[in-house]
Amino acid sequence: MTDSALASPAATTATSSTGDGLRPRPRGFSAFVRKSPLGAFCLFVILFAIAFALIGPFVGTGNPEKINPLSVFAGPSREFPMGTDYLGRSVMARLAIGMRVSLLIALLAAGLAAVIGAAIGLVSGYAGGIVDEIIGRLADILFAFPTMLLGLLIVMVLEPGIQSLVVTILVVTLPIFVRVARGPTLGLKSAEYVIAARVSGASTRRLIFRHILPNLTGPLLVQTTFSLSVALIAEGALSFLGLGVQPPQPSLGSLLRDGKTYMELAPWTMLFPALTLAGIILAINLLGDELQGIIDPRLRGR
């Protein structure tokens, strides 16, 4: 039996021929734009937010720590497009740095959760038996803890800061990835092409990375987008409560915490960070929905 005959559906779809006279399916970003204009727009919003966070301080947002005593609580103007805070610092400059910190925390935590959770889920689903039972029960225990309570418990062990945020978000989102990877693995390991590959002498490593893992990339990608929004919410909430990013380092959550004190006097100090956080989370969630509709055939056409 040839190796091409044992290839999984996910591996053979991309290499299928067009000998039946049908045109090849459009691929790449242009195909994504045609299938999901809303998803493309959300992706643009996310990329714009990342670009603003990365290069904003170098293209005119200014120094986030520069104090202007004569411009305390100045409203939005040409010099300060988003106004200033209680020290006369530019809200736009601090927003750019805060977005960088929040997005970095979210990407780091969600990325670690995706890699570690997918690996644990693969092992759990493929091994089965007592290993699967133990991992499943541990995941259920983590699911039982509310995010805020878990954050408080972790902060009691670790001092408030970026490290505590990453650990909290990682622990909260990890069991979700375990389940996302475990469920399909249980079915895929009994698929005919996997059994045929096993009988032909394929190693466990080859079975996982060649025949099972490619079929999990879609669900894991969708879950990663949703986990990014969860991470941003958790960062915003914990930093707002003073358990996350600590002064003078700004983040979206800490900017909200600082702005709430002066909401009546200078509403722009809280309004712009709040709108930014809500807009990014909305764009990520909508992008995840669009990706899920494209990847899952059962949701197409709804």
pLDDT at 124 over 60: yes
pLDDT in tens, 160-188: 888 888 988 898 889 999 999 988 888 88
**Residue 161: domain span:** 34-56+83-297
Q: What is the mean pLDDT of residues 205-213?
A: 83
Q: What is the mean pLDDT of residues 202-222?
A: 85
**pLDDT (0 to 100) of residue 28:** 65
Report how many domains make up the chain.
Answer: 1
65 in any annotated domain: no
242 in any annotated domain: yes
pLDDT band at 8 (very low <50, low <70, confident <90, very high): low
CATH number, domain with residue 116: 1.10.3720.10
Cα-based angle 101, 68, 93 (whole degrees, multiple of 5)? 25
**pLDDT (0 to 100) of residue 297:** 57
280 in any annotated domain: yes
**pLDDT (0 to 100) of residue 4:** 45
pLDDT at 292 over 80: yes
148 in any annotated domain: yes
